[in-house]
Chain A
Amino acid sequence: MEILRYSVYRFGTMLMTLLVVSVMIFVIINLPPGDYLSNQITELRASGQSAGVAKAEFLRTEYALDKPLYQQYLIWMGFFPGPHGFSGMIQGNFGWSFEFDLPVSEIVGDTLWLTVLVNMAAIIFVYAVALPLGVAAAARSRTWVDYSSAFVGYLGLATPNFLLALILFYYGHKYLNLPIGGLMDPMYEGLPMSWDKAKSIGVHLIVPTFVIGTSGASAMMQRLRANMLDELGKPYVETATAKGMPPARMLAKYPLRVAFNPFVADIGNLLPSMVSGSVLVSVVLGLQTIGPALLQALKSQDQFLAGFILMFVALLTLIGTMISDVLLVMLDPRIRYEGRDA
């Protein structure tokens, strides 16, 4: 019951945060002087195409860009009736992309779940790599296992994501014949889901997952190792060893459980940086996630598209953080339900 109450409370705070974030995103997007349409209008005026001007002016009123900023925000969010009544983010109308001349939802469509997929794969990769390596490094501390995993970890932290992407891409293609670019074979694009398509996506996911996950895995591995080392010095470990427990079972049964906590809690720190990484890596590797679309939209001031993508990215991280918080409370009864900061 308590957990249910906590989940509801956590969900509420998430909604509040999302609201604040939406204001922030709207302000940031409107920071550059002018908007897509007013830039276009000046351009058209300069070249004397009055027909285009009329269309652009029409779009401006259509999307309420001629209203004051705070009204624009309220209309965008759907708190305030626009030219066509209530139709904003909360009503499911994500706006119009001026550059592509299409509704935003049509442009992002497929890329949304691919983004989620890439990030999920990266998270699984982080856990799958960091857990065994971190435990091994702690259990065999100050041996070659420890040192080599520390070395790999430091290198993972220090290499810029996009460079790693380029390198892995190149060698992956050369020696392992991994496919280059994209998230699936071009022949499957737009086709309904099938077994072959899933396989193609799986193969294409290998390099991106590795690249996005590496720095997160390094950080988590180091933290797990430090936690494990703290626990390994405690008397209960000695007792377990003394009574003749096999080391592997002992590790899994006692110290790992205690050291595991930050592992779940860390996802709050991990997720934002991984989503960042996936945006960058997607641009470099040409993945059909929202990364390249975001970059393009920001460069051309396509504000509804950019705004929606930023909101989506924020939502993704907030949901991830919320899930990890709830999981943490379920895993560890010692954690108090409120006021866990400080």
Chain B
Amino acid sequence: MTHLPDGRYVDDAPYDPQASLLELERKDLDAPNWLLVWRKFRTHRLGLISGIFLLLSYLMLPFAGFIAPYGPNTRHADNLYSPPQSVNFFHEGQFIGPFVYPMESEANLETFQWEFVADTDNPAKLTFFCDGDSYMLAGLIKADTHLFCAPDGVTIFLWGSDRLGRDVFSRIFYGAQLSLTVGLIGISVSFVLGIFFGSVAGYFGGRIDWVINRVIEVLRSLPELPLWLALSAAVPSNWSPVAVFFIISIILGILDWPGLARSVRAKFLSLREEEYVKAAEMMGASSGRVIRKHLLPNFMSHLIASATLSIPAMILGETALSFLGLGLRAPAVSWGVMLNDAQNLTSVEIYPWIAIPMIPIIVVVLAFNFLGDGLRDSLDPYQQ
């Protein structure tokens, strides 16, 4: 530090304006695009939390059978409409680890309902990594170890049981397997179709463009649900639940692509006049190569963001179809199938816990919306 005669202080370290400027910029310029996007996305708190939540949810899917204490269709004939049981730690002021109070059912002869009373004298301690109903781990490995279960003769219904005495908590985890993947399969179908038709229409233009555009207009102007209904009514009822599941997700995808195709087409229309496209064409690149290597990477990230935003519609679509009885059918378990039981207002009033599946639906849909918003905002890292 030098003290100049006119009272200013000057740093003695050698200073090269050009170098320091370059050094600062270089780091950012050299960073790959995804790093810049990630840096910006990290500041979007809500999007980040939603992303982590969704990631965990999807990672959990193969282990649903492990986390759930019961199988999806295991019936407990003595515990129909049993209310949720809470896990306690203190029994009469003493810490004895996680336990539940056994439920005892009594028939109320006036209302003709089963009434459940917790037996607060005999706490039943939970066991961990115990054997129970067998399930397929990730659909491949047969296993029967569960994360937690109640001792013999005692039930554990964290979120109550439904009309057939099936555990709502377990069914929500099993239901997630179908409800969450419907969106992914549907969006893949819609992605492939949308990019294909959108890019063909935008790149070639002319008559192909006209035809594809009219198809898009027709599909977009129609109400989705009646079409979904009509198409899923066409699925033969003797098909296996898995086949129905795939068909339903493909139907959801087939009716979703026009929106995506429109935005792809609009981008192509403006990008195909760019010089690098001309250059590629002059060097003899085929149309397919120009589309794949030169045009699509330009806005792939935007497409991913808009895809994220249209997954919720598919999840809601599956739920609505199953709710109406035209989508997945029992014994398949999805959130919509579970809510099918909640159609009846009186049963929701008496047994409110059968409407619990609406909570994961709302949470997942919100998470996808936030994630999509966050991605969209952070995709252009150079823009401040």
Interface segment out of the listed B7-15, B96-104, B316-324:
B316-324
Please tell me if the beta carbons of A17 and B218 are within 8 angstroms of each other in the complex.
yes
Give Cα distance in the complex from A157 to B213, angstroms.
28
Return A151 CB to nearest CB of chain B, in Å. Answer: 10
Size bracket, chain B contacts: 35 or more
Q: For window 1-48 of chain A, which residues contact chain B by CB distance below 8 Å?
A: 17, 20-21, 24-25, 28-29, 31-33
Contact of B366 among A17, A158, A314 (CB under 8 A): A158
Given A17-B218, A33-B236, decide whether A279 and B225 contact each other with a Cβ distance below 8 A. yes
The one of B220, B231, B236, B369 in contact with A154, judged by C-beta atoms closer than 8 angstroms, is B369
In the assembled complex, the CB of A222 is this many whole angstroms from the nearest CB of chain B, namely: 10
Would A298 and B366 be within 8 Å (CB), given that A166-B342, A317-B221 are in contact? no
Complex interface: chain A residues within 8 A of B213 (CB): 341
Q: Closest Cβ of chain A: how far from B224's Cβ, in Å?
A: 5
- How long is the Cα–Cα vector from A31 to B218 in the complex, in angstroms? 20
Chain A residues 270 to 297 lying within 8 A of chain B, measured CB to CB, are 271-273, 275-277, 279-280, 283-284, 294-295
Complex Cα–Cα for A31 and B221 (A)? 22
A310-B226 contact in complex given A170-B349, A284-B343, C-beta closer than 8 Å: yes
Interface residues of B in 181-240 (CB under 8 A from A): 213-214, 217-218, 220-227, 229-231, 233-234, 236
- Contacting B231 at CB < 8 Å: which of A31, A158, A273, A321? A31
Q: Does B242 contact A (CB under 8 A)?
A: no
How far does the Cβ of A304 sit from chain B's closest Cβ, in whole Å?
Answer: 14
Q: Judge if A268 is at the interface, Cβ distance under 8 Å.
A: yes
* A268 cross-chain contacts in B, Cβ below 8 A: 220-221
- Residues B233 and A298 in contact, CB atoms below 8 Å apart: yes
In whole angstroms, how far apart are the Cα atoms of A306 and B227 in the complex?
A: 11
Tell me how far the C-beta of A23 lies from the nearest C-beta in chain B, rounded to whole angstroms.
10
**A294 and B234 contacting across the interface, CB-CB below 8 Å:** no
Q: What is the chain A residue whose CB lies nearest that of B225?
A: A276
Seed contacts A158-B312, A160-B319; 15 additional CB < 8 Å A-B pairs: A20-B218, A25-B230, A31-B234, A32-B234, A155-B366, A170-B345, A268-B221, A272-B224, A273-B224, A276-B224, A276-B225, A280-B225, A298-B233, A310-B230, A341-B213
Closest 8 CB pairs of A and B: A276-B225, A31-B234, A298-B233, A275-B223, A158-B365, A276-B223, A272-B223, A158-B366
